[in-house]
Amino acid sequence: MYKVALVDDHTLLSEAIAGLVRQFENFEVVNISVNGRELLNYLNSTNAQIPDIVLMDVKMPVMGGVETTKYLTKHHPDIKVLALSIEEDEQVVMQMIRSGAKGYLLKDTRKSILEQALNEVINFGFYYTNTVERLIQKSETSLEEEVVLKDREIEFIKHACTEMTYKEIAAKMFLSPKTIEGYRESVFHKLGLKNRTGLVIHAIKNNIFTP
C-alpha cells in the first residue's frame, strides 16, 4: 500500500479527500495535517509512517505549501508532493512546481483524475496536466529569452554548488574575492534567487550541476 498524507487547513475538505483516497486501490491515508509545520512535526515523530505522496494545499497559515514543498524537496526527497488547491493563478502554479511539486491539481478535479494523478506520480514521478505543461514550457522559454549566463558565471555556479567557500572559489578561479562577490550578485539577480541554496536547486534542475 502506498502511503498518502494530506496537508490542508480546511478540515472537512481534507477529510472528504481522505475518504476518496481510501477508496483507491493500493493507497492508504497515514496523516492529515492542517499546515506544513504540523506535517513536519508528524514526520519527525517516532511513530511516523513516512508518506510516499503528500497532497499539498498552497495557501495555509503558519507554514504554507510553497515553503513546505521546498523543505520536503530538500530534506525528504523521496516524498513526492502533489499540489491540490483552488488557486489557478499561473504564478502560484509555477511557484509550487519550482519548489519541487510533481504535479498540480485543482480541488474541483474529478475523482478519476485524482486517482490517475496519484498512480502516475508513483509510477513515473510526476503528473502534469496539459495546462501545467504549457505553463512550464512558457516559463522555460521566458527564462531562456531573459537570462543569458556567461561562461565564467556558469563556472562560478558549478563551484558554488560544492562545499567550497567563496574565498576558495576565488582562488580556484584565479580571481579576487571581490570579483567573485560580483559574480554572485550578478547570478542571483539574473536568476531571481536570494541565497546559495536556491542557486544549487536551480543548477541541479537545469542540468548546470550534477551532484
pTM of the model: 0.65
Which cell numbers in the block locate residue 116? Answer: 490517475
Tell me how far CA of residue 35 lies from CA of 2, 7, 135, in angstroms.
22, 6, 26
**Among the listed residues 30, 96, 106, 35, the one whose alpha carbon sits nearest the alpha carbon of residue 69:** 96
CA distance 153 to 139: 21
Question: In tens digits, what is the pLDDT along the chain, a chain of 211 residues?
Answer: 999 999 999 999 999 999 999 999 999 999 999 999 999 999 999 999 999 999 999 999 999 999 999 999 999 999 999 999 998 888 888 889 889 999 999 998 899 999 999 999 999 888 888 777 777 666 655 555 457 788 999 999 999 999 899 999 999 999 999 999 989 988 988 888 888 888 888 888 888 988 7
